[in-house]
Chains A and B, each alone.
Chain A
Amino acid sequence: DAGITQSPRYKITETGRQVTLMCHQTWSHSYMFWYRQDLGHGLRLIYYSAAADITDKGEVSDGYVVSRSKTENFPLTLESATRSQTSVYFCATYPGQGAENQPQHFGDGTRLSIL
C-alpha cells in the first residue's frame, strides 16, 4: 500500500531552470494539495485540486503551475526556478465529499535546492 509517493526526494537545480515535482496517490482521493515548508513559516498551501481538471490557487501560488489530468497524479512545476523557491515541498490528499472531519495525508516530501 504505497499511499502517496513523491519524486524525486531530493533535487538540486539552477535559477531559471524548469523543474517538476511529482505526486502520485493510490487511494483515489478526490482532493490533492501542494505545500511548502520553510523555517519560520510552517506549512503554506501552494495549490490544491478538488478533482481531475479542477485546480485552485493557495496562499503562495506565484511562480508555480499545476495540472491534474488524472485523479492519481498532481505534478507541481516551477517554470523558472528562483532561489526563494528553495524549500521542502509536501503533497497531501484528502478523501473529499462525504468524508468531512477526516485528516489530510501527506507524502514524505521533496527537498528542492535552487542554486
Chain B
Amino acid sequence: DQQVKQNSPSLSVQEGRISILNCDYTNSMFDYFLWYKKYPAEGPTFLISISSIKDKNEDGRFTVFLNKSAKHLSLHIVPSQPGDSAVYFCAASNNYGGSQGNLIFGKGTKLSVKP
C-alpha cells in the first residue's frame, strides 16, 4: 500500500523547456512534503520543500505546488538544464503526528534533459 506515488518512472524534456514531475499521496495526515534529487553513485540531496499550510514554494528555477484537496504535488523546473538530469524523489512526513522526521518516499522519476 503505497502512501506516496510517483506514477511516471521517467520523463524526457528539451533543454530550456519546463519539466513537471508529479507526486500523489494517500495519507491526509502528511503535513510536510519534500523533493530530493539523486545523481548516480551519490546520496539524495534535498531540493525544495513545502508545508501543508502553503500551496506554493519557489526557489530559483524550482517551484513546488501543493493541492491538498487532490492530495497531489508537483515540481516545476524552469528552464530545464542538462545538469538537472537525475532521479527525483518525492517524500512526505507527518511532523506533528509523533513521527517527526520520518519520511515516506515515492519510487522516483528519472528526468533526462536533452541539449
A interface, CB within 8 angstroms of B: 4, 31, 33, 35, 40-45, 48, 90, 92, 94, 96-97, 100-101, 103-109
Contact = CB atoms under 8 A, between A and B. Distances in A.
Interface string B54-65: 000000000000
Interface of B: 6, 32, 34, 36, 41-46, 49, 51, 89, 91, 95-96, 100-103, 105-108
A28 B91 CA distance: 23
B46 A105 contact: yes
Contact of A104 (B6, B42, B96, B101): B101
22 contacts: A33-B101, A33-B102, A35-B105, A43-B44, A43-B89, A43-B105, A48-B102, A90-B43, A90-B44, A94-B101, A100-B95, A100-B96, A100-B100, A101-B49, A101-B51, A103-B34, A103-B36, A104-B46, A104-B103, A107-B43, A109-B41, A109-B42
Contacts of B44: 43, 90, 106
Contacts of B89: 42-43
A32 to B, nearest CB: 10
Most chain A C-beta atoms within 10 Å of own C-beta, residue among B32, B49, B89, B100 = B100
A42 to B, nearest CB: 4
Contacts of A44: 105
A100 to B, nearest CB: 5
Given A41-B107, A42-B107, A43-B89, A108 B100 contact: no
